[in-house]
Amino acid sequence: MTKQVSSAIRSTAPGLGKTRTLALLILILAAMSSLVAASPILYDVFCRVTGYGGRSATLDAYERPLGIVTGIPAHDHAYQVLVDATVSGSAPIEFIAKQRKVDDFHVGQRILLEFSVLNTSDEPIVAQAIHTVLPEVLAPYLQVQECFCTSEETLEPGNVYEYALVMRFDPAALEDPDVLRETAIRVRYEYLEKS
What is the residue type of 15?
G
Residue 12 has pLDDT above 80, yes or no: no
**pLDDT for residue 186:** 92
**In the chain, % of residues over pLDDT 70:** 71
What does the mean pLDDT of the chain come to? 76
pLDDT higher than 80, residue 7: no
What are the tens digits of pLDDT across the range 55-66?
444 434 334 333
The CATH code for residues 59-193 is: 2.60.370.10
Write the pLDDT tens digit of every residue in 28-65: 888 887 777 777 666 666 555 554 444 444 434 334 33
Kindly list the domain boundaries of the chain, sorted by start residue. Answer: 1-55, 59-193
pTM above 0.85, yes or no: no
3-state per-residue secondary structure call for the chain: CHHHHHHHHHHHHHHHHHHHHHHHHHHHHHHHHHHHHHHHHHHHHHHHHHCCCCCCCCHHHHHCECHHHHCCCCCCCEEEEEEEEEECCCCCEEEEECCCEEEEEECCEEEEEEEEEEECCCCCEEEEEEEEEECCCCHHHEEEEECCCCCCEEECCCCEEEEEEEEEECHHHHHCHHHHHCCEEEEEEEEEECC
